[in-house]
Amino acid sequence: MDVARIREDFPVYHSDEEGLVYLDSACQTFRPRQVMEAMARYYDLYPACGGRSVHRLATQVSIEVDEAREKVARFLGASAPEEIVFTKSCTEALNLVAKGLSLKRGDTVLTTDMEHNSNHVPWLQLQSTLGLRRRFVFTPASGLFDMEAFKQAMSRDVKVVSMVHTNNITGTSVPVKQVAEIAHDYGAMVILDGAQAAPHQRLNVKDIGADFYALSVHKMMGPSGMGALYGRMELLRSLQPLIVGGGGVSLTTLEKADLLPPPERFEAGLQNYAGIIGTGAAVDYLLSVGLDEVAEHDARLNAIATAKLADVPGVSILGPPEPRARGSILSFNIKGMSSHDVAMILDEVARVMIRSGMHCVHPYFVARGLEGCARASFYIYNDEMDVDTFASTVSKVASKFSM
């Protein structure tokens, strides 16, 4: 991958922040100029309301929104653009599904102990208010998904299997196609949190058997405040909207409201048109780089970083020892140091920017008696020099502060 050429597309690398080592893309990626230019065109040339007015500016917005929806549908391998719902985040998409399904007291939802709070807290709420039952697949010492434990956890009372495709702590992925096949054999619905998977690997939601698939656009070089949800059309038709109002209904009277068909029924209210248009541009950019190339680049940088830190006293890496099993993510701790201190020192000493804390996956850390971890995450604009700076700085910090 020609990182130097790719960096030409990212203004942040040509700003006053020269020399930065940004390794926090699992939280939020940088955006290329192509995405920002697409959004600016909306504000500059047709800053109107799509889907409502019929004048030429509004029509242009509607066309651009439709094109963006088509791009996301192709990106995910959906059967039709109408199976794509634009949301403000992956979190909203997951909440929309969890709270829009016709679940009832006693139904069981099966998740893992590696779920982001976005795929954990909604089910906790429904456990409390609706009487849902929860069941978990726990992560073994290997850090890899335990397929046998999953099989043992499945039963006819499991109505929903809702899992993170790629988790944001160790970067390991669930074998989702096999999981979906087993879940469907039991009559369960499959919901996947693709926030960390969609930016890094080739996807086809029909092939893997996802009934719903949520993604976070700001993790794939798109605008902040944007997410998307794929849902099989027959399921979207029966799903209740999370938010209702203008733009989501065909006709209302004083007694009733008729919902529009999907996806419009889920997109009530004025939409983030610039964000939707920017989402289409982000998909274009990511596909121009190539998902296979992205995955290989991530793995190569992770392997280099892992090798450099493997024998550093006081440094422990979370998850499987094989870096390819961890994708773009390298989470670690330095003995005797809090993860926040590690992150602040790396930034102060060498402008190395990583994430720290519990990363919204609190149950994983609580169960293991950990206060959190430091997390480096690699992406297309990172190179070997970034890895060298990161690893050498971690080594220096560990040698000075590790207990």
- Give the active site residues: 360
Helix, strand, coil % over all residues of the chain, rounded to 5: 45, 15, 40
Q: Cα 301 to chain center, whole Å? A: 20
**By the 8 A CB rule, do 84 and 263 touch?**
yes
**By the 8 A CB rule, do 331 and 319 touch?**
yes
Q: Where are the alpha helices (DSSP H) in 194-272?
A: 205-208, 233-238
Is the preceding omega at residue 263 within 30 degrees of 0, hence cis? Answer: yes
Closest by CA position to 212, among listed 191, 241, 235, 227? 191
Q: Which amino acid is at 173?
A: S
Q: Which amino acid is at 286?
A: L
3-class DSSP assignment, residue 306: helix
The H or E element spanning position 305 is helix 291-309
Phi, psi angle pair for 21, to nearest 5°:
-120, 95
Q: Cα 105 to chain center, whole Å? A: 29
Phi, psi angle pair for 122, to nearest 5°:
-55, -40
The H or E element spanning position 251 is strand 249-252
Q: How far apart are the first and last CA of the chain?
A: 39
Q: Cα 224 to chain center, whole Å? A: 12
**By the 8 A CB rule, do 215 and 188 touch?**
no
**By the 8 A CB rule, do 287 and 368 touch?**
no
Instruction: Tell me how far apart the alpha carbons of residues 155 and 394 are, in angstroms, rounded to a whole number.
Output: 46
Show the tokens assigned to 127: 């456990």
**Residue 154 to residues 166, 198, 239, Cα–Cα distance (Å):** 21, 26, 24
Instruction: Tell me how far apart the alpha carbons of residues 116 and 361 are, in angstroms, rounded to a whole number.
Output: 5
